[in-house]
Amino acid sequence: MSLEGLNKNKGNMRGILRWTGLLMIAGIFTLISGCDKENGCKSVPVEDERAILEAFNASIGMNATRHSTGVYYEILEPGSDNKPKAASTIYVKYKGTLLNGTVFDQQTNPGRTGFVLNNLIDGWKVTIPYIGKGGSIRISVPSSLAYGCQGQPSANPPIAPNSPLYFEIELVDFF
């Protein structure tokens, strides 16, 4: 192939890469904006799930306190006086279940966590700062403060849209 042919192919490749990049950006935007009125995805208001969460809490004997956001929590062990902040990296043992008891996620090895608190669901952001190192908490989370109208299809089993969730969490360490 001549030098002229190579230069022409480079120009075509740049154009293809440019369009591929634009299509990827459009795809990401579509995923991020997936919860809009046009496609029927609507979050359930926190108050609409209040009775369901209160009945669930009673059924498991959870002596819950209701946070102003609508998250219910029970501190089982307060842990140390030092508490994590939004930017803290937390190391936890936890189990997450649907309200029917189906476990969708759990981790017993805190070394496999290392989550930045501010990157987690709102239910965790609100409640984890109530406990310190060595503390444990139970929380029941309205769907809009969990995965909302999009659910979490990558969970195993998948979390359906607008699913309230329950977690048992032990804060092993944070930095």
pLDDT tens-digit readout, 28-84: 333 333 444 456 789 999 999 999 999 999 999 999 999 999 999 999 999 999 999
**Domain locations along the chain:** 1-33, 41-174
pLDDT tens-digit readout, 150-166: 999 999 999 999 999 99
pLDDT tens-digit readout, 21-30: 333 333 333 3
Closest alpha carbon to 159 in 72, 92, 112, 99: 99
Closest alpha carbon to 161 in 30, 31, 44, 29: 44
Give 171 or 8, the one with higher predicted confidence: 171
Kindly compute the dihedral angle of the four CA atoms of residues 126, 130, 135, 140, in this order, to the nearest 10 degrees.
Answer: -40
pLDDT tens-digit readout, 76-133: 999 999 999 999 999 999 999 999 999 999 999 999 999 999 999 999 999 999 999 9
pLDDT at residue number 40 = 78
Q: Kindly tell me if the per-residue pLDDT of 8 is higher than 70.
A: no
CATH of domain 41-174: 3.10.50.40
pLDDT at residue number 38 = 52
What backbone phi and psi angles, to 5 degrees, belong to 141?
-120, 125
pTM: 0.78
Confidence of residue 14 (pLDDT cuts 50, 70, 90): very low
